[in-house]
Chains A and B, each alone.
Chain A
Amino acid sequence: MANRRTALALSLALPTALTLLWFLATSIGGVKSYQFASPADVTRELGTLASNGLLWRHLAASIERVLLGFGFSLALAIAIATVVGLSRPAEAALEPTLQMVRSIPSLAWVPLLLLWLGIGENAKVTLIAIGAFFPIYVNLVSGIRNVDRKLVEVGQVLGLGYLDLARRIILPAALPSLLVGARIGLTQAWLFLVAAELLASTRGLGFMLSEGQQIARTDEIITAIVLLALCGKLSESIMRWIEARLLHWTDGLPA
Chain B
Amino acid sequence: MRHAIEIEGLSKHYGPRAVLERFELFVEPGETLAILGASGCGKSTLLRCIAGLVRPDAGTIAVRDELGFVFQEPRLLPWLTVERNVAFAARSDVERARVKDVLELVGLTPAAHLLPKQLSGGMAQRAAFARTLVRNPKILLLDEPLSALDALLRLELQTSLAQIVRETGSTAVLVTHDVQEALYLADRIVVLDGAPARGVLELEVPLPLRRSRTADLTDERIALLSALGIEGRVAKRSHRGLRVVAP
Q: Which residues of A contact B (CB under 8 A)?
A: 150-151, 153-154, 156-158, 168-169, 172-173, 175, 248-251
Task: Please tell me if B179 contacts chain A, counting CB pairs below 8 Å.
Answer: no
Apart from A153-B53, A249-B79: 20 A-B pairs, beta carbons within 8 A: A150-B71, A150-B75, A153-B75, A154-B71, A154-B77, A156-B52, A156-B53, A157-B52, A157-B69, A158-B88, A158-B89, A173-B77, A173-B79, A175-B79, A249-B78, A249-B80, A249-B115, A249-B116, A249-B117, A250-B117
Q: Are A157 and B53 in contact (CB under 8 A)?
A: yes
A214 vs B117: C-alpha distance when bound (angstroms): 57
Task: Chain B residues near A151: list those with CB within 8 A.
Answer: 75, 77
Q: Are B51 and A169 in contact (CB under 8 A)?
A: no
Q: Tell me, rounded to whole Å, the shortest Cβ–Cβ distance linking B91 to chain A.
A: 9
Interface of B (DSSP majority class): loop
Task: Please tell me if B73 contacts chain A, counting CB pairs below 8 Å.
Answer: yes
- Using a Cβ–Cβ cut-off of 8 Å, how many residues does chain B contribute to the interface with A? 18
Q: Are A172 and B52 in contact (CB under 8 A)?
A: no
Task: Chain B residues near A169: list those with CB within 8 A.
Answer: 77
Given contacts A249-B115, A251-B117, contact A157 B78 (CB under 8 A): no
Count of A-B contacts judged by CB separation below 8 Å: 40
20 interchain pairs, CB-CB under 8 A: A150-B73, A151-B77, A153-B71, A154-B71, A154-B77, A157-B52, A157-B53, A157-B67, A157-B69, A168-B88, A169-B77, A172-B77, A172-B79, A173-B79, A249-B80, A249-B115, A249-B116, A249-B117, A250-B117, A251-B117
Task: Chain B residues near A248: list those with CB within 8 A.
Answer: 115
Interface of A (DSSP majority class): helix
Task: Chain A residues near B52: list those with CB within 8 A.
Answer: 156-157
Q: Tell me, rounded to whole Å, the shortest Cβ–Cβ distance linking A213 to chain B.
A: 49
Interface flags for B70-92 (1: CB within 8 Å of A; 0: not) read: 01010101111000000011000
Q: Tell me, rounded to whole Å, the shortest Cβ–Cβ distance linking B65 to chain A.
A: 14
Q: Are B51 and A157 in contact (CB under 8 A)?
A: yes
Task: Chain B residues near A154: list those with CB within 8 A.
Answer: 71, 75, 77
Task: Chain A residues near B67: list those with CB within 8 A.
Answer: 157
**Minimal Cβ-Cβ distance residue in A for B115:** A249
Q: Are A251 and B53 in contact (CB under 8 A)?
A: no
Q: Tell me, rounded to whole Å, the shortest Cβ–Cβ distance linking B48 to chain A.
A: 9
**Minimal Cβ-Cβ distance residue in A for B66:** A159
Using a CB-CB cutoff of 8 Å, which residues 30-75 of chain B contact chain A?
A: 51-53, 67, 69, 71, 73, 75
Q: Tell me, rounded to whole Å, the shortest Cβ–Cβ distance linking A247 to chain B.
A: 8
Q: Tell me, rounded to whole Å, the shortest Cβ–Cβ distance linking B125 to chain A.
A: 13
A248 vs B80: C-alpha distance when bound (angstroms): 11
Q: Tell me, rounded to whole Å, the shortest Cβ–Cβ distance linking A158 to chain B.
A: 5
**Minimal Cβ-Cβ distance residue in B for A175:** B79
**Minimal Cβ-Cβ distance residue in B for A156:** B53
Task: Chain A residues near B117: list those with CB within 8 A.
Answer: 249-251
Interface flags for B192-213 (1: CB within 8 Å of A; 0: not) read: 0000000000000000000000
Task: Chain A residues near B79: list those with CB within 8 A.
Answer: 172-173, 175, 249
Contact of B78 among A153, A168, A250 (CB under 8 A): A250
A172 vs B88: C-alpha distance when bound (angstroms): 13
Q: Tell me, rounded to whole Å, the shortest Cβ–Cβ distance linking A153 to chain B.
A: 6
**Minimal Cβ-Cβ distance residue in A for B78:** A249
Q: Tell me, rounded to whole Å, the shortest Cβ–Cβ distance linking A178 to chain B.
A: 13
